[in-house]
Amino acid sequence: MDEAFEGRVLVIANRLPITIKEVQEGDFEYNISSGGLVSGLRSLAKAVDFKWFGWPGIDIHRNDKDKVRHDLADKFNAYPIFLPEDLAQRHYNGFSNSVLWPLLHRMPEKVGAEESWSKAYQEVNEIFADNIVPYVEDGDIVWVHDYHLLLLPGILRARLGKKKNLRIGFFLHTPFPTDDFFTILPFREEICRSLLLCDVVGFHTQEYARDFLNSASVVLEGVSRSPSDLHWDGRKVIVHGFPIGIEPGDFREKMETDAVKQELDGLKKYFTGQKILLGVDRLDYIKGIPQKLRAFDRFLTEHPEWLGKVVLIQLAIPTRPDVVTYQRLREEVESLVGHVNGKHGTFSHTPIHYLYRSIKPEQLCALYAVSDVCIISSIRDGLNMVSYEYIACQNKETAGTLMMSYYAGAVKTLPSCTVINPWDIPRFANTIRDVLDMPQAERRQRYTENAHVVDTYTSVRWGTSFLNTCYKMELPKQTDGGTPEERNNPDDDRAMMSAHLMQKSRSGEST
């Protein structure tokens, strides 16, 4: 493509894509963060004029705020929204992650309750609007992300009603619950009204989009719906699935570095003669790590011939360690690891290698590449990008197998994963055996089919599709054939060739 999108895109998320560290008084160090949203938009940002808005992640002293503002705008085109530490925590760890997170994942039994949390949530959404409104110009696309800011689109629409050609889009990076769970949400009517004041509301899968369509029809009066949009208060709102992707070329480039090759050689030598099962999960109750450990325990019990010949490497990335629910989960997981290793281990063999920490990207790529099977056992998951990263680090020769929970969104997008029900421990254990015994020809076929999806539905294509839909204000024509999500994705060739968005030609970014 020869032309770039001529307008501006204001990307708004709870956190800026920059990690800020005070190295000495009044002096700060800035680094690009990791994470799904950052990774998803990093490559697209090379082609589109993004302005980032979000909380900087730390409490900045009043005297240093102007310096941080200047540094972020100058170096990253980013604009910090400062929040008092107590307010930020009540918004993030409180309402967002102790109320919304479990309800969005259909787990009301995990919900906490404190009156100040809901007030903090509303206040933070208002503060975000206070900081964003002065920057919005006619013709902008305002792209709001995720459950931390569900009220923000409605606030912005009310304050920016006189702006010309303003488009507001919202993307949710979690599942959306069915209406029986959604109706439990506090101020659910306000949330629905806010999202219906967007022009485009996007979800990872078409299933989540349908759940929102159903919930909005239940919660608000005067809503009429068609298969892919809502009509309410004289407005048409496009509601659709836009499965996010990764940039597989970035992973393959990293696989060619000396650092990854060195890590890979070390792992191959250490685990010589053993099959490797891999789990890479945040230590979150939605990820189904206890179910995975119980299934592995049962597999070893029922198939003792595999003792000493297979290991499970479980990387558990710390998440919200100050929250009691997560502390209890860590205790449960580490107790299960000890139980399995004590039951099945020997002086020369440890069945489970458990790491409670983050690791370097080079180490992660090497783990992806060396493992024979990657097990994703989520009991509810928006999409799950680990599955895409694993495929990107494999190749036709290794042809690692992907086991995926029925409850992960990516099971709808990756056609040839081996599907498991993490609650059905006996069948889960049997599937581990089946995958370990899978013929190489079948492994290669499954890998090839999954790799095609990963290579086709990249993060650039995801972002381009969403922004094109915002810009054009209508769903592109859907195509026939392909994977289920390909058939539902509004990202057809004509949309991809829009003159208003470009994608720079480079390896790994082709669509």
pLDDT reported for residue 34:
66
Residues 257 and 174 in one domain: no
Domain count, the chain: 2
Residues 145 and 13 in one domain: yes
Residue 98 maps to a domain? no
Residues 218 and 299 in one domain: no
Residues 154 and 284 in one domain: no
Residues 310 and 402 in one domain: yes
CA distances 58 to 39, 41, 76, 80, 320, Å, are 21, 23, 17, 10, 15
**Is pLDDT at 476 greater than 60 in this prediction?**
no
Residues 72 and 161 in one domain: yes
Strands of the 50-55 sheet, one edge to the other: 78-80, 50-55, 9-15, 141-145, 167-171, 200-203, 235-241, 229-232, 224-226
Q: Of 223, 241, 259, which one is at a domain's C-terminal end?
A: 241
Q: Give the model confidence (pLDDT) of 50-84 as tens digits.
A: 899 999 988 888 888 999 999 999 988 899 999 99
H or E element at residue 179:
helix 179-182
Q: Say which CATH number the domain at 304 has.
A: 3.40.50.2000
Q: Of 185-189, 195-199, 401-405, 448-452, which range is least confident?
A: 185-189
Q: Give the model confidence (pLDDT) of 176-186 as tens digits.
A: 999 999 999 88
Partners of residue 375 on adjacent β-strands: 403
**Is pLDDT at 222 greater than 70 in this prediction?**
yes
Q: Across the chain, what does the average pLDDT equal?
A: 88
The answer to whether the CB of 230 falls within 8 A of the CB of 239 is yes
Residues 137 and 281 in one domain: no
Query: Vertex 167, ends 239 and 197: CA angle to 5°?
Result: 55
Within 13 A of 165's CA, how many CA atoms are on the CB side?
9
What is the residue range of 56's domain? 9-82+126-241
Q: For the chain, what percent of residues have pLDDT higher than 70?
A: 90
Residue 463 maps to a domain? no
pLDDT reported for residue 6:
59
Q: Of 179-188, 288-297, 436-445, 487-496, which range is least confident?
A: 487-496
**Is pLDDT at 384 greater than 90 in this prediction?**
yes
Residue 499 maps to a domain? no
Query: Vertex 205, ends 374 and 288: CA angle to 5°?
Result: 40
Residues 429 and 392 in one domain: yes
**Is pLDDT at 502 greater than 70 in this prediction?**
no
Per the structure block, which two tokens stand in for 480?
Answer: 């026939």
Q: Of 241, 276, 294, which one is at a domain's C-terminal end?
A: 241
Q: Of 218, 241, 264, which one is at a domain's C-terminal end?
A: 241
DSSP sequence for 439-499:
-HHHHHHHHHHHHHHHHHS-HHHHHHHHHHHHHHTSPPPP-SSSSHHHHH-S--HHHHT-T
* φ/ψ bin of 476: left (φ > 0), alpha (ψ from -120 to 50), beta (otherwise): beta
Residues 17 and 42 in one domain: yes
Confidence tier at 504 by pLDDT (50, 70, 90): very low
Greatest alpha-carbon span in the chain? 72
Higher-confidence residue of 493 and 326: namely: 326
Q: Give the model confidence (pLDDT) of 109-143 as tens digits.
A: 999 888 899 999 999 999 999 999 999 999 999 99
Residue 23 maps to a domain? yes
Residue 117 maps to a domain? no
Cα end-to-end distance, the chain, whole Å: 11
Confidence tier at 477 by pLDDT (50, 70, 90): very low
pTM for this predicted structure? 0.88
Residue 320 maps to a domain? yes
Q: Of 192-201, 213-222, 425-434, 495-504, which range is least confident?
A: 495-504
pLDDT reported for residue 36:
56
Residue 388 maps to a domain? yes
Residues 374 and 397 in one domain: yes
Instruction: Tell me what the mean pLDDT of segment 293-310 comes to.
Output: 97
Q: Of 38-52, 83-97, 237-251, 373-387, which range is least confident?
A: 38-52
**Is pLDDT at 354 greater than 50 in this prediction?**
yes
- Tokens 């009691």 -> residue: 324
Confidence tier at 496 by pLDDT (50, 70, 90): very low
pLDDT reported for residue 39:
66
Residues 219 and 293 in one domain: no
SS (H, E, C) 117-154: HHHHHHHHHHHHHHHHHHHCCCCCEEEEECHHHCCHHH
Q: Give the model confidence (pLDDT) of 223-251 as tens digits.
A: 888 777 888 888 899 999 999 999 899 99
pLDDT reported for residue 510:
33
Residues 282 and 223 in one domain: no
Instruction: Tell me what the mean pLDDT of segment 408-414 comes to.
Output: 94
Residue 203 maps to a domain? yes
